[in-house]
């Protein structure tokens, strides 16, 4: 989840299909993709629900939170507003009677790397799990690997392979 | 053409029957093949209440939008259920909607960036307004005091009370010092707010800088600095900038002290994405109001000791400007009576990789050897002398020549008398040009020189120095082929930087 245009769909495209399109086409509903990740001692099958950023403004997303093992909150490191949006999303999630794992990704890190143009220090480091670039593929697989590890270690009916 | 499809699905997710044209039993019979969210159909919770308003599917490479709904039907008496998945095909309608939504989102994202810029502009305007106000107020006060001292001195003179005069003089001097300090802080502020941070290569050992400031500081006998910054941390930052930053922070600790002894602890931590420098003191702390306004221009903290030198609300504003110049952040925390904590965050790409930089440094000085003859053009002998010493301090073996204005420099270059002996006055390969001089200033010289530049068979570089704001100078000389601009005064760091670029 995350504001419009932060790169949710792009992250999934990168992770699942190893591709990237600079063209923006906003999602208007929900898309679901699968991805299997091999960890050291187990395999995790992820079912990734890519939810339109547009839903953030209408709170339509709430019903998709039920049954989610984790919520990947994505923001754009060049847009402070998108970071504030996931902050309030997170506080809403914790108000609900569910508690999925919250995993925070700052995307589009390629735009700020080695450049002093953007001020991306608005992010509170202690809260951000991974900084990624769907464009370059940087840390995308790692992000989901890492999340899978957390999921696997939290999973009660873990099937070891 | 029918747009609503139905799938009859058994407990295992196998599609028993459907009217969907894209279904092909020979490829795959499982519902998860077409709708991956049903990958574990038999364990998917709450399947009976499953409902989805807009689902974007990609089936056999085609994009569809569906509204999905599931209900169950009892197959036989043994309570075995089958499920019916209804898929309302909304593709046609939503392909258009998606285009509109994209256009709308793009605009709202642009707006987000614009709003940010606006906020910045607003604060700039605010700053200018306050600037004028604070300045007129702050300058008037000491001036008024000096004026009244002046009258008192007159009186004392006529009444021959000479002892009083000495005392009055000392008091007046205090006020003058205050004015002087204000002017210097304003100059500093002007420097950092107008300076565009070039790809500076100045390297600074933060820990050493802190020790130096502690030593320099007025009233240093009251200060105990616990410098916890790693001794080998080198940052790509300008010494003057960060001298100002920490001098202000430490002076504030003294200004807002509680007892007689001021304790300041400075810790520097390297995080994943930034460096965090935390300065903690044992002073009177800070009120919530002051916290909010601490970095505003002209804001004076409410709790400082009255007997101290007056504060004039420029210090922390300047500090914030410097930190932001480096794309960093600064914050202030603390409670009344519990000391104040100033936290600075800097992007960690400012950390210098020692090995790499040593190689680069050597390279840089090898290159610098290519300058042989350097001509200083400045009306101040002292400046010429200092600049020369700075060159020499980098052990650059060049010959130095100096003239005192643009007209003389022109004569020198053209070999006019008294510069007609090429052996005594060789054509320089570098000219260090001051912007303001009598007779012919730097700008006029640059203009005149640009017209004769290609007469020379060596490439003559021009570096222009100025104590005025650089933007205007750059505008005035933009057509004259100036190779580099340096804010006066020249320093070792600035020279290094210059040599690196040329
Ligand atoms: N430079 C750069 N651009 C990116 C990156 N990730 C996504 N983008 C671009 O950002 C735009 C939006 O990306 P999407 O993936 O469609 O964003 P989204 O979060 O799915 O947006 P919604 O579906 O509207 O919620 C596209 O133009 C992408 O090409 C990245 O890592 N770096
Ligand atoms: Mg999307």
- Give me the long-range contacts of B221-227 (CB less than 8 A, separation at least 24): B222/B254, B222/B257, B222/B260, B222/B261, B222/B262, B223/B250, B223/B253, B223/B254, B223/B262, B223/B264, B224/B261, B224/B262, B224/B263, B224/B264, B225/B250, B225/B264, B225/B266, B226/B263, B226/B264, B226/B265, B226/B266, B227/B266
Taking residues A156-160, report their average pLDDT: 52
CA atoms within a 13 Å half-sphere pointing along the CA-CB vector of B285: 8
Angle at CA of residue B94, ends B93 and B95, nearest 5°: 100
Q: Which one of A1, A2, A3, A5 would you pick to mutate in the ligand 1 pocket, going by the greatest count of ligand atoms within 8 A of its CB?
A: A5
In Å, the largest CA–CA distance within chain A is: 47
Angle at CA of residue B490, ends B500 and B373, nearest 5°: 65
Q: How far is B316 from chain A (nearest CA, A)?
A: 20
| Closest chain A CA to residue B57 | A31
pLDDT of residue A123 exceeding 60: no
Cβ-count burial B215-254 (b if 16+ within 10 Å, e if not): eebeeeeebebebebeeebbbbbbbbbbbbbbbbbbbbbb
pLDDT digits (tens, 9 = 90+) for B81-116: 789 999 999 999 999 999 999 999 999 999 988 888
How many CB atoms are located within 10 Å of the residue B199 CB? 9
A108 lines ligand 1 (CB under 6 A): yes
* Residue B274 with chain A: CB contacts under 8 Å: 121, 125
The pairing of beta strand A70-76 with beta strand A101-107: parallel
B403 has which bridge partners?
Answer: B377
pLDDT of residue A124 exceeding 70: no
Give the DSSP H/E element, type plus range, for residue A94. helix A80-95
How many CB atoms are located within 10 Å of the residue B142 CB? 19
| Confidence at residue B475, expressed as pLDDT on a 0 to 100 scale | 81
Whether residue B103 contacts residue A69, with contact meaning beta carbons closer than 8 Å, is answered with no
pLDDT of residue B310 exceeding 80: no
| Confidence at residue A130, expressed as pLDDT on a 0 to 100 scale | 87
Averaged pLDDT score across all residues of chain B: 82
pLDDT digits (tens, 9 = 90+) for A59-73: 777 778 877 889 999
The pTM of the full predicted model, rounded to 2 decimals, is 0.57
pLDDT band, very low/low/confident/very high, at B359 (cuts 50, 70, 90): low
Contact with chain B for residue A54, Cβ under 8 A:
yes
Burial of B478 (0-12, 13-18, 19+ CB in 10 A): exposed
Q: What is the atom index within ligand 1 of the atom nearest the CA of A134? A: 31
pLDDT digits (tens, 9 = 90+) for B33-57: 999 988 888 776 567 778 888 999 9
Q: Do B329 and A121 touch (CB under 8 A)?
A: yes
List alpha helices for B280-353, DSSP H: 288-293, 315-325
Greater confidence (A144 vs A96) lies with: A144
Give the DSSP H/E element, type plus range, for residue B403. strand B399-403
A133 lines ligand 1 (CB under 6 A): yes
Contact with chain B for residue A62, Cβ under 8 A:
no
* ipTM greater than 0.95: no
CATH architecture of the domain formed by B354-501: 3-Layer(aba) Sandwich (3.40)
pLDDT of residue B353 exceeding 80: no
Superfamily for domain range B4-89: PAS domain (3.30.450.20)
CA atoms within a 13 Å half-sphere pointing along the CA-CB vector of A109: 19
Taking residues A90-114, report their average pLDDT: 83
Distance A54 CA to ligand 2 centre (A): 9
* Residue A6 with chain B: CB contacts under 8 Å: none
| Confidence at residue B366, expressed as pLDDT on a 0 to 100 scale | 43
Distance B66 CA to ligand 1 centre (A): 23
| Confidence at residue B440, expressed as pLDDT on a 0 to 100 scale | 85
| Residue A159 located in a structural domain | no
Assign residue A57 the CATH number of its domain.
Answer: 3.40.50.300
Q: What share of chain B is helix, strand, coil (3-state, %, to 5)?
A: 45, 20, 30
| Confidence at residue B312, expressed as pLDDT on a 0 to 100 scale | 64
Give the least confident one: A18-27, B449-458, B467-476: B467-476
How far is it, in rounded angstroms, from Cα B407 to Cα B437? 10
Of A34, A114, A125, Cβ closest to residue B39: A34
DSSP for B160-188, please give it. Answer: T-HHHHHHHHHHHHHHHHHHHHHHHHHHH
A9 lines ligand 1 (CB under 6 A): yes
Q: Which one of A134, A137, A139, A141 would you pick to mutate in the ligand 1 pocket, going by the greatest count of ligand atoms within 8 A of its CB?
A: A134
| Residue A1 located in a structural domain | no
How many CB atoms are located within 10 Å of the residue B323 CB? 21
Greater confidence (B188 vs A56) lies with: A56
* Residue B349 with chain A: CB contacts under 8 Å: 114, 116
B4 has which bridge partners?
Answer: B88
Q: Do A4 and B108 touch (CB under 8 A)?
A: yes
Indicate the number of domains in chain A: 1
Domain B204-350 CATH class label: alpha beta
**Domain locations along chain B:** 4-89, 104-194, 204-350, 354-501
Residue B372's contacts (CB-CB under 8 Å, 6 or more residues apart) are B398, B399, B426, B429
- Domain range for residue A92? 8-154
């Amino acid at each position: 989840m995350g504001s419009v245009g932060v790169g949710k769909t792009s992250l999934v495209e990168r992770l699942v299909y190893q591709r990237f399109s600079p063209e923006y086409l906003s999602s208007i509903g929900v898309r679901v993709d699968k991805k299997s990740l091999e960890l050291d001692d187990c395999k995790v099958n992820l079912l990734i629900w890519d939810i339109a950023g547009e839903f953030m403004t209408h709170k339509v997303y709430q019903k998709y939170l039920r049954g989610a093992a984790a919520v990947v909150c994505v923001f754009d490191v060049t847009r402070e507003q998108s970071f504030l949006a996931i902050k309030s999303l997170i506080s809403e999630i914790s108000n609900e009677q569910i508690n999925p794992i919250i995993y925070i990704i700052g995307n589009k890190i390629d735009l700020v790397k080695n450049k002093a143009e953007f001020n991306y220090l608005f992010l509170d480091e202690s809260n951000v799990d991974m900084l990624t670039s769907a464009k370059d593929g940087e840390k995308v697989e790692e992000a989901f690997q890492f999340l899978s590890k957390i999921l696997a270690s939290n999973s009660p009916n873990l099937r070891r392979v | 053409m029918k747009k609503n499809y139905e799938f009859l699905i058994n407990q295992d997710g196998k599609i028993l029957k459907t009217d969907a044209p894209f279904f092909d039993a020979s490829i795959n019979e499982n519902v998860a093949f077409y709708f991956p969210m049903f990958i574990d159909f038999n364990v998917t919770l709450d399947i009976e209440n499953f409902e989805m308003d807009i689902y974007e599917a990609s089936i056999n490479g085609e994009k569809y939008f569906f509204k999905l709904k599931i209900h169950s039907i009892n197959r036989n008496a043994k309570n075995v259920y089958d499920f019916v998945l209804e898929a309302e095909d909304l593709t046609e309608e939503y392909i258009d909607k998606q285009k509109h939504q994209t256009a709308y989102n793009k605009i709202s994202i642009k707006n987000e960036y614009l709003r940010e810029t606006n906020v910045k502009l607003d604060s700039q305007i605010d700053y200018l307004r306050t600037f004028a106000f604070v300045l007129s107020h702050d300058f008037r006060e000491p001036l008024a005091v000096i004026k009244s001292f002046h009258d008192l001195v007159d009186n004392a003179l006529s009444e021959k009370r000479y002892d009083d005069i000495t005392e009055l003089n000392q008091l007046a001097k205090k006020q003058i010092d205050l004015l002087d300090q204000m002017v210097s802080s304003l100059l500093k502020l002007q420097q950092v707010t107008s300076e565009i941070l070039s790809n500076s290569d100045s390297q600074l050992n933060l820990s050493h800088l802190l020790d130096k400031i502690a030593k320099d500081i007025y009233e240093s006998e009251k200060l105990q600095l616990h410098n916890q910054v790693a001794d080998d941390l080198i940052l790509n930052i300008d010494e003057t900038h960060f001298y100002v930053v920490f001098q202000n922070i430490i002076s504030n600790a003294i200004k807002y002290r509680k007892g007689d002894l001021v304790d300041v602890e400075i810790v520097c931590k390297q995080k994943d994405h930034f460096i965090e420098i935390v300065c903690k003191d044992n002073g009177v702390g800070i009120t919530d109001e002051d916290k909010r306004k601490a970095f505003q221009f002209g804001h004076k903290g409410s709790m400082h000791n009255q007997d101290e030198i007056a504060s004039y609300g420029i210090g922390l504003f300047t500090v914030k400007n410097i930190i932001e110049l480096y794309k960093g952040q600064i914050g202030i925390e603390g409670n009344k009576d519990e000391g104040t904590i100033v936290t600075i965050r800097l992007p960690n790409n400012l950390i210098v990789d020692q090995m790499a930089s040593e190689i680069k440094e050597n390279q840089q000085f090898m290159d610098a050897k290519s300058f042989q003859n350097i001509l200083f053009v400045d009306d101040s002998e002292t400046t010429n002398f200092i600049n020369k010493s700075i060159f020499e301090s980098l052990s650059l073996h060049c010959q130095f020549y100096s003239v005192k204005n643009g007209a003389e420099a022109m004569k020198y270059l053209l070999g006019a008398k008294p510069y007609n002996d090429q052996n005594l006055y060789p054509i320089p390969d570098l000219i260090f040009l001051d912007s303001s001089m009598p007779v012919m200033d730097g700008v006029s010289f640059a203009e005149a020189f640009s017209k004769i530049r290609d007469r020379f068979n060596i490439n003559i570089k021009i570096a222009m120095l100025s104590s005025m704001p650089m933007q205007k100078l750059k505008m005035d000389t933009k057509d004259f082929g100036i190779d580099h601009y340096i804010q006066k005064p020249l320093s070792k760091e600035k020279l290094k930087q210059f040599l690196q670029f040329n």
